Amino acid sequence: MKPRAQAAHGRSFGRMAGLYDEVRPRYPDAAINLVSRGWNDLDVCDLGAGTGILSTALLDRGANVIAIDPDDMSLANNPARSLVGSAEDTGLPESCVDVVTVAQAWHWFDEAAAAAEIARILRPGGHLIILINQLDVRIDWVLRLSRIMHAGDVHRPAYCPRPAGFDLVDHDLVEFTTPLTVAGIVDLARTRSYWLRSNQRTRTRVESNLREFFSLEHPVDGELELPYMCLAYGLKFDG
């Protein structure tokens, strides 16, 4: 996808902000605490913060959070202090935060420009934490589900972001599940970028294929536990 089109799609989630917040999974404690086990009073920039799934968890841990996102409709749902901005131009002053967190957003960024901006706003010795929740496609039926949903943003477990100016100090793969009904999984599909940029005919086909899958191939009675993995990376600013 061309950078301009990619940026536009990254701003499209606000149209589904309430649903996104309802059906998208939370981040496991082991991933959030990868670098810092004590968040109390840390100054944190949650970059690409969206509706605030991670922002909320950081606030609950006592962090001072500023949420940055280009989508003001998503930020309207975010409980943290917020500012409309981008990963490449946050609008924040230099050396103002201890930690920058990026949850479910790194793939929307211009990596080189974002790395330079993150380095600018971090204090010396500060950390960057990148979290990626994705369906655990190592499981056969989940792989099939991801293909029906067109969940194409799935990284291999060996994937590792390498932004310039940062050293990887820790990483982890955290397995977890989240409970959803079939209707909830259809709603989950509705929050994905493929759905948001598709026409009604395509959306109807995807929903029909999902319901058929859970009716015939993987029958479900009530809720199921949807398997996920969280790829978590802790990086230290070497400036």
Q: What CATH code is carried by the domain that includes residue 54?
A: 3.40.50.150
Whole-prediction pTM: 0.89
Residue 69 lies in a domain: yes
The string of pLDDT tens digits covering residues 2-22 is 444 344 444 555 566 778 788
At residue 97, does pLDDT exceed 50? Answer: yes
Q: Write b or e for each residue in 50-87: b if 16 or more Cβ atoms lie within 10 A of its Cβ, otherwise e.
A: bbbbbbbbbbebebbbbbbbbbebbbebbebebbebbb
Residue 206 lies in a domain: no
Tell me which residue range forms the domain holding 95: 3-136+151-177+227-237
Determine how many CB atoms are found less than 10 A away from the CB of residue 37.
9
Residue 143 lies in a domain: no
Residue 203 lies in a domain: no
Which residue has better confidence, 157 or 69? Answer: 69
Residue 53 lies in a domain: yes
Residue 202 lies in a domain: no
The string of pLDDT tens digits covering residues 26-76 is 999 999 998 877 899 999 999 999 999 999 999 999 999 999 999 999 999
Number of structural domains in the chain: 1
**pLDDT band, very low/low/confident/very high, at 194 (cuts 50, 70, 90):** confident
Which residue has better confidence, 206 or 194? Answer: 206
